[in-house]
């Protein structure tokens, strides 16, 4: 759930490239990818915000993905005017696939769309975002899930799966067809993580089961499912933290370190906030040149709870669980 839409519009805007690189960029829901020595961050913002860097330290703002809101999304989600949430970027079959979320504030009137591009380099003659439209949609009164926060992962046979979700009845996984643009037939849906809603049964209400931002990362024989527990978007009062479980099967079940299933409330702590960084979450995991990184946003208590980009090395313990550095104070 993205609860600070007006603030984020002010933070991100729809501007062109920054005049000067910014070492402390303000982002929400970042994901990172590399092309030809340049790193790109895609994140929540008007038209989907984009930043580039040569060193993962100083960043320059690029043009947003969309200059105008996709018409299909405007028609599908009342009130949507271009502020687009929680993108996911990956490269397959010669194309970059960008999944993104459009939603009505506080409701599961939501859709996940997809756009493609041959390159991420704006100076290339091949650079052009082509919107492929809606992939999935959630409807209040029909669905007990929310179609936002997408992430694409391939299984061991190369078939694409999309994991997504926020609050309601948890994180969903759906198998896509070979075009990556719609559910495969027959449709196959799985609940991979959830938390108790404490008596909420109305499917038009989010409830208090604070779980969202799923991200799948494959390493060795395991698929690792990262999620964020508790609350984002409250500045210095944010309680976001990152949790993880794993499975040898992309469909799960996913278990935490204590062998508790994530679809029964389980999850092992990866990283939580401290006095400086009040909440940390909505992470991605990236691998470049044999090294892995945890990419996420954190609320800076020394800057009035402003949400900032954090990138930290990710290692693995002797039992194959992810390990991070401590947050600075």
Which residues sit opposite 158 in a β-bridge?
A: none
SS3 content of the chain, % helix, strand, coil (to 5): 5, 45, 50
User: CA 270 → CA 122, 131, 136, 174, 291, distances in Å?
Assistant: 35, 35, 29, 25, 18
Residue 247 dihedral angles phi and psi, to the nearest 5°: -155, 150
Residue 255 dihedral angles phi and psi, to the nearest 5°: -115, 145
Q: What is the DSSP letter of 206?
A: -
DSSP tally for the chain: helices H, then strands E: 2, 21
Give the span between the Cα atoms of 274 and 277, in whole angstroms: 5
User: Which residues 6+ apart lie within 8 Å of 140 measured at CB?
Assistant: 107, 108, 109, 203, 204
Give the span between the Cα atoms of 211 and 214, in whole angstroms: 9
* Half-sphere exposure of residue 67: CA atoms within 13 angstroms, side-chain side: 4
Instruction: For residue 248, indicate whether it is catalytic.
Output: no
User: CA 65 → CA 15, 18, 120, 151, 329, distances in Å?
Assistant: 11, 15, 10, 18, 35
Report the length, in residues, of the chain. 329
Distance of CA 102 to the CA centre of its chain: 13
Q: Phi-psi bin for 53: left (phi > 0), alpha (psi -120 to 50), beta?
A: beta
Which residues sit opposite 299 in a β-bridge?
A: 307
Q: Which two tokens stand for residue 114?
A: 């997809």
Instruction: For residue 62, indicate whether it is catalytic.
Output: no
* Active-site pick, 88, 169, 212, 263: 212
Give the span between the Cα atoms of 8 and 275, in whole angstroms: 23
* Active-site pick, 29, 149, 230, 256: 29
**Catalytic center residues:** 29, 212
């Amino acid at each position: 759930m993205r609860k600070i839409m007006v603030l984020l519009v002010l933070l991100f805007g729809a501007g062109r490239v920054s005049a000067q690189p910014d070492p402390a960029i303000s982002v929400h829901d970042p994901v990172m990818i590399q092309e030809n020595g340049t790193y790109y961050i895609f994140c929540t913002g008007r038209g989907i915000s984009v930043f580039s860097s040569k060193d993962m330290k100083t960043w320059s703002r690029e043009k947003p993905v969309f200059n105008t809101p996709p018409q299909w999304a405007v028609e599908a989600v009342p009130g949507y005017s271009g502020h687009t949430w929680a993108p996911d970027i990956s490269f397959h079959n010669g194309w970059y696939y960008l999944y993104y979320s459009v939603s009505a504030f506080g409701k599961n009137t939501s859709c996940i769309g997809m756009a493609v591009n041959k390159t991420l380099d704006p100076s290339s003659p091949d650079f052009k975002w082509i919107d492929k439209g809606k992939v999935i949609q959630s409807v209040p009164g029909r669905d007990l899930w929310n179609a936002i926060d997408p992430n694409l992962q391939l299984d061991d046979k190369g078939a694409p799966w999309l994991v997504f979700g926020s609050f309601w009845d948890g994180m969903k996984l759906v198998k896509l067809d070979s075009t990556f643009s719609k559910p495969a037939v027959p449709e196959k849906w799985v609940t991979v993580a959830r938390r108790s809603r404490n008596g909420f049964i109305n499917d038009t209400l989010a409830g208090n089961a604070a779980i969202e931002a799923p991200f799948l990362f494959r390493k060795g024989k395991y698929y690792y499912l990262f999620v964020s527990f508790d609350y984002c978007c409250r500045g210095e009062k944010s309680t976001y933290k990152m949790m993880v479980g794993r499975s040898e099967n992309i469909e799960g079940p996913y278990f935490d370190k204590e062998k508790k299933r994530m679809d029964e409330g389980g999850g092992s702590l990866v990283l939580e906030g401290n006095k400086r960084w009040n909440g940390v979450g909505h992470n991605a995991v990236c691998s470049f040149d044999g090294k892995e990184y945890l990419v996420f946003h954190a609320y800076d208590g020394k800057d009035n709870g402003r949400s900032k980009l954090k990138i930290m090395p990710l290692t693995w313990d002797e039992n194959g669980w992810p390990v991070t550095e401590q947050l600075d104070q």
